[in-house]
Amino acid sequence: MDKAEEHILARIKKSLDASQIPEREEFIKAILETEKIFIYGVGRSGLVAKAFAIRLVQLGLKVFFIGETITPIVEPDDLVVIVSNTGQTMSALQTANIVRRVGAKVIAITSKEYSKLAHAASIVMHLNVESDEKDKEHSPLGTIFEDTALIFLDGIISDLVKKMGATESQMRSRHSIWV
């Protein structure tokens, strides 16, 4: 295996082990108790957020990605999940503040536990991603956060599959099919 791959895998494992997120069950409960779920993120964090949104749709949940032209407005009691490494991205902060004022629950997935986004959130999923010197060489910018967030959110999907009693065939029936 390449040194970069070894480094990235080791950092993800270290980050997930360090995170031990006690709010995990609260996050899952919020998803299960909500009628509509809105997801948001920009850049590579946005790609991770979209991957999570796709899996939620495959579970049969009503999910929208904020910023898409067909996304309805957020209403009270909706759930908004925002993925942002720094928790300082302006559009993520604006989204959190607006939807919170509407009465929606905001869940922040971030590496910065005390960021402005975390402050605006109802629940903070803090992924303990601390940079080290080798990150600059093997995993530039937000690579470790993004990869850790993807794996963390895939773990949430696994928990939801069990709690909802979903099957692979049910999920596959909601998978995109190109004719």
Q: Which residues are catalytic?
A: 146
The HSE-up count of residue 123 (CA atoms within 13 Å, CB side) is 19
Distance from chain centroid for Cα 121: 13
Distance from chain centroid for Cα 114: 17
Q: Are 126 and 110 in contact (CB under 8 A)?
A: yes
How many of the other CB atoms lie within 10 Å of CB of 82? 28
